Structure 1
C-alpha cells in the first residue's frame, strides 16, 4: 500500500508528527501513514524497515520546527545533526529524493522561515526548493484537512484511498435541506405545480377571483367552477369550465390498491 511517510526530529515536532499521523490515518486508512515511533514492529531490523517504508511511500512530509536546522548531534554535540551522514532525518529525506518521491516541507508555526539551500548539506539542498506548506497549529483539524485535500489533488495513489471528499467538493455536493411540509409557502409565485403543505394546487398568480371554498363559483365572464375548494384557479386565462368529480374510484370500491 502507498504510504505517507512522516519525517520528524525528536524534540522538534514529535507531538505534531503524532497528531498529524493519526489524522491522516483516519482519512486514508490505518496502514497508510508511517511514523517511526509506532510503525516499526518490535524486534524488526529498524534500518531495513525505515528505508523500505520511504521507498514504498508516495509522499514524505518533512516536519521542520524552530530547532530542526541547528539541532545538535547526539554523538558529537559540537556539530549539527544534519551534518552527520547517519542522521536519520537526513537519511530519510535523501532516500526520498533518490527514489523520486514527492517531498513536502511542513513549516511548524509562524517563526520558522523558508529554508536556505546554503544552510543545508548539499544532499539536502533540494529540500529548500520544494514548495512548502505551513502548519500554524492554531486550528489543527482544519489545517490538516486542507493539507489532505492538496495531497489528494496531487497524488493519484492517495485519491484512491481517500475516505473524505476534499472540503471544497463536500461543500458543493452537500444536499439541499428539504422544506418543512408543515410550513405554508406564501412566497411562491408563477408557474404550475404542487405546493407541499395545505395549499393544494398552485396555478399562476392571484390576479382574479379564486375558488377557495365548497360549492360553485361564477366568474365575471360566466366561467363556472365546480369543486370542493381543493383547486385554486386565478389569472385571466381561466375562461373554460373547470369541474371535479369526487368520490371513490371503481378500483377502490373493489378493494384494490
Structure 2
C-alpha cells in the first residue's frame, strides 16, 4: 500500500483535487495520503518541512490544471524559488521519487521552456488525464491500478530476468487486463462502495436535474405571463388610443356641425334684424304720412317733406341709421321654468317682456322692434350657441347701441333685485371713472374700469396682470391655466396697498401667442371682497 503525496495549486484545481484525495483515502486510508499545505506547523521552514513530507512518500502525484503555470505579468509562478509547487517537485526529483502528473480540466504537460532548469526533467514524466463524470472513477481506477505497484516488496525475479528499477513507468501496458482480473476475482468492498456512491451520485444528479427543470418551467411560466401581460397592456393602450382618436374625430365633427349651425343661426338672425329694421322704417314712414293727411293746409307738400326727411339719411346721403333712445322696457330671456316664475310674480308689469330661451328668434325680433333699455339674460343661456348668436345680433345692430345687456344667474331673480333697488340706480356703479363697454360676449354684471398698464396681481400664488376691475369681479391675463367654476385666491396690488379675496372663474378665453407661450384671459367674480378696499384700489390705480 503506497504512501502518496498530492501536490496541487488551490486557485487552479482545489475542487477536483479534493475529489481525487477523497477517492484515494477511500481506497488506501487517510494515513497513506498526504496533501500539501494542509499540516505545515507555524514557525518552521516550509522548504525543509515540505522536503521531509515528500521524502516520506512512495509516489508523488502532481495535479496540473489549466492555470497551473499561472503566469503573472508574463512570468510563470514556477520561476519563483519560494513557490510551493516548485519546492515539492524539486524535492521529489532530488529523492528520485516517482512522479505521476494528473491532467484535469483539459490541461496538458507544459513545454520545457515553460519550467525552470531545476525541474525540467519533470516534463518527461508519464501522466494520465482525470476527466469529470461519467469518466472520473474509470480514470481513477487506472491511477489506483498504477499506484498499487509502489510501496510493496516486489517478488524475487527469475535469474534470467533483470529487476525493474523504481523509475520504470507505473501504468500497466494494458489497463483492460487489470479490469478483467478484477472481474474474475469478483466485487471487492471497494467496488461495492463505489457502486453505492455512483448510485447515490446518480440519484442526486437526477434530483438536481428535476429541480433545475422545475425552476426552468417556472421561469418559462413567469416569462410567458409577463409577455402576456405586456401584450395585454399594449393591446389595451392601442384600444384606448383608437377610442381616443374616434372620440376626437366625432368631437371634431360635432364642433364643425355646431359651428355651421352657429353661423347659420347668426346669418338668420342678421337677416331677421335687417327685415325688422326695414319694417320699422316703413312703419315710421306710414306714421309720418298719417300725421300729414288731407284736410291740413299744404298737406301734400308736408307729406313729401316728411317722406324725404325719413328717406334722406338712408337713401340720399348714405349716412348710417342713428340709434334711437331706448324705451323704458326690460326684456328677460331665460329657461322656461324661470319664465313661468316671473310671469306668476305679483310684481310683474307691462314694462317687462319675458321669453323662453327656446324662443330666441322671436325675442330678437321684439328687441329690434321695441329697442328696450335693458336685456337680461340667464347665465346658462349666454353659454349656448343661441345665446351667443342673440348677443352677437344685438351687438351688430347699430340701432341697439344704447341697449344694455345684463347677465344674472337666474332671470327669475330679477324681480327680487328690482324690489331691493331701482333698476336705473342699480345699473350705476359708485366707482369713479368712465365704465368700459360690454366684453367680447357683450355681457357684464357691473361697470368695469381699466387699470394702469402692468398692474401686479397674483392668482393662486402665480403672477398675472389685472386688466379690468369692478365692484363684483376682475378680468385677468396670464399664463396660469384656469377652468370654469374654479375657485381661486386673488392678491391685488403691492404692500402696503394689498387687497386679498376669493373668487370664482366665470369665463376663460385661450389666446395663442405664435411662437411664445399661450396666455389665458379670464373673468372672475368676487366672493368675499371688501367693497371699500376695491374702491380705494380703483381710485389709486384707475387709468385716466
Same fold (TM over 0.5): yes
Q: 1:3, CA displacement in angstroms?
A: 2.1
Aligned pairs, how many? 162
What secondary structure is seen at the aligned counterpart in 2 of 1:57? Answer: coil
The residue number in structure 1 matching 2:59 is 59
Q: 1:44, CA displacement in angstroms?
A: 7.0
Q: 1:126, CA displacement in angstroms?
A: 0.8
Q: Deviation per CA, 1:152-187: give whole Å up to 9, x if none.
A: 1x314399xxxxxx6443201128xxxxxxxxxxxx
Counterpart Cα distance in 2 of 1:158 and 1:147: 19
The residue number in structure 2 matching 1:5 is 5
Q: 1:42, CA displacement in angstroms?
A: 5.4
Counterpart Cα distance in 2 of 1:79 and 1:158: 43
After superposition, the CA RMSD in angstroms is 2.5
Counterpart Cα distance in 1 of 2:21 and 2:144: 11
Counterpart Cα distance in 2 of 1:124 and 1:103: 12
The residue number in structure 2 matching 1:135 is 130
Over 3 Å counting, the alpha-carbon distance change for 1:151 and 1:44 in structure 2 is farther
The residue number in structure 1 matching 2:82 is 86
Residue pairs, 1:225-244, within 5 angstroms: none
The residue number in structure 2 matching 1:34 is 34
The structure that is strand-richer by fraction is: 2
Counterpart Cα distance in 2 of 1:123 and 1:116: 14
Counterpart Cα distance in 1 of 2:74 and 2:83: 15
Q: Does 1:120 align with 2:132?
A: no
Gap runs ≥5 in structure 1? 160-165, 176-257
Q: TM-score, normalised by structure 2?
A: 0.28
Counterpart Cα distance in 2 of 1:136 and 1:174: 26
Counterpart Cα distance in 1 of 2:34 and 2:153: 14
Counterpart Cα distance in 2 of 1:44 and 1:89: 20
Residue pairs, 1:202-221, within 5 angstroms: none
Over 3 Å counting, the alpha-carbon distance change for 1:68 and 1:41 in structure 2 is closer
Q: 1:63, CA displacement in angstroms?
A: 0.8
What secondary structure is seen at the aligned counterpart in 2 of 1:54? Answer: helix
Counterpart Cα distance in 1 of 2:181 and 2:153: 16
What secondary structure is seen at the aligned counterpart in 1 of 2:10? Answer: coil
Is the Cα contact below 8 Å between 1:151 and 1:158 reproduced in 2? no
Q: Deviation per CA, 1:49-79: give whole Å up to 9, x if none.
A: 322110111111111111112343xxxx663
Ranked by relative contact order (alpha carbons within 8 Å, sequence separation 6 or more), the top structure is 1
Q: Does 1:45 align with 2:44?
A: yes
Q: 1:92, CA displacement in angstroms?
A: 0.1
Q: 1:37, CA displacement in angstroms?
A: 4.3
Q: TM-score, normalised by structure 1?
A: 0.57
What secondary structure is seen at the aligned counterpart in 2 of 1:25? Answer: helix
